[in-house]
Structures are given as structure tokens and as C-alpha cells.
Amino acid sequence: DTEVTQTPKHLVMGMTNKKSLKCEQHMGHRAMYWYKQKAKKPPELMFVYSYEKLSINESVPSRFSPECPNSSLLNLHLHALQPEDSALYLCASSQFLALSSYNSPLHFGNGTRLTVT
């Protein structure tokens, strides 16, 4: 079990659908992250929120839209995705924004496995 909960665990959607991925943590962490992971590849950073404000967008296409309603919740809204967007989407949190020079490990959820048909 992890302290970062992601729902749903699996999601299949068509290219015209709109869906949302959800992430929740109750550790009092103030930074939250979305990563994308393709098969046999390392996770790739997509978005970072710090104190509920978007701090980093790694040039992600606009068909991915993040939202941080409060310090415990992080959503990723999906619209008009392509089959190549099929991947494992991972949420993480840390006490503070985990710049490399800070003593703030990331805590990951187990991800949502997304298939775009």
C-alpha cells in the first residue's frame, strides 16, 4: 500500500472521450507531481504543483490539463488523446518542491494504466 492513492487503476478511453485521473495524499505534502511512464522506460516528468499553483509544465500537449483543487488532491483531465498517449500515469507528492538541492523525497502512487483506443 502507498500513501498516495490514484484512481482509477485502469482506464480505457477512445480518442474523442474526456476523462480524468485523480490523485490524493493526506501526508500534508505541499508539492504534487504527474509523471508519464511508457513501457520499459523511466518515468518522465509532466507537471509539478507547489502550494496548489502550477510550478512546472514540461511542454506537455494541451490535451493534458492538470488541476490542483486543494493541497491533498491532484487531477489530470484528458481530452482528445492519441493512441501514443497510452502509458502508466504516476502521481507523486513531496513535503516541499523537490528541487534536487532539497531534502524532500518523492512518494509515488501505483499509477493509472491508460489505454487510448
Partner 1 sequence: DAKTTQPTSMDCAEGRAANLPCNHSTISGNEYVYWYRQIHSQGPQYIIHGLKNNETNEMASLIITEDRKSSTLILPHATLRDTAVYYCMGRGGGSNYKLTFGKGTLLTVNP
Site residues, partner 1 (CB under 8 A): 2, 4, 42-45, 48, 55-56, 90, 92, 98-103, 105-111
CA atoms lying within 13 Å on the CB side of residue 16: 0
Please say which residue, 58 or 82, places its beta carbon nearer to partner 1. 58
* Shortest distance in whole angstroms from residue 109 CB to partner 1: 5
Nearer to partner 1, 79 or 107 (CB): 107
Three-class secondary structure of residue 83 per DSSP: helix
Collapse the DSSP code of 72 into the 3-class scheme (helix H, G, I; strand E, B; otherwise coil) and give the result: coil
Q: Which three cell numbers stand for residue 87?
A: 502509458
Cβ proximity to partner 1, 64 vs 108, nearer residue: 108
